[in-house]
């Protein structure tokens, strides 16, 4: 998950600190955003950086 960009037009330049990421991911999962979390943490790193984050869980 990107931590240096917050898409909020009312707060240009706002950033999310790295310590907020686990809490935000937990909140997203609790709200049913499983697909978005998978896209951010699995599909995007694989597509952009060719990094298989799921393989690191073994």
Distances (CA, A) of 39 to 14, 43, 52: 22, 5, 12
What is the pLDDT, as a whole number, of residue 4? 65
Q: What length is written for the chain?
A: 58
| pLDDT at res. 20 | 85
Q: Please tell me what DSSP assigns to residue 12.
A: T
Q: What are 12-32's pLDDT values in tens digits? A: 888 888 888 889 899 999 999
Higher pLDDT, 56 or 35: 35
Provide the pLDDT for residue 31: 98
Task: Compute the distance between CA of residue 15 and CA of residue 6 in angstroms, rounded to an integer.
Answer: 5
The model carries a pTM of 0.71
What is the pLDDT at residue 39?
Answer: 93
Position 36 pLDDT exceeds 80: yes
């Amino acid at each position: 998950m990107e931590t240096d960009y917050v898409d909020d037009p009312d707060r240009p330049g706002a950033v999310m600190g790295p310590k907020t990421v686990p809490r935000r991911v937990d909140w997203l999962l609790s709200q049913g955003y499983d697909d978005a979390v998978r896209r951010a943490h699995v599909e995007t790193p694989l597509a952009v950086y060719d990094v298989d984050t799921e393989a690191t869980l073994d």
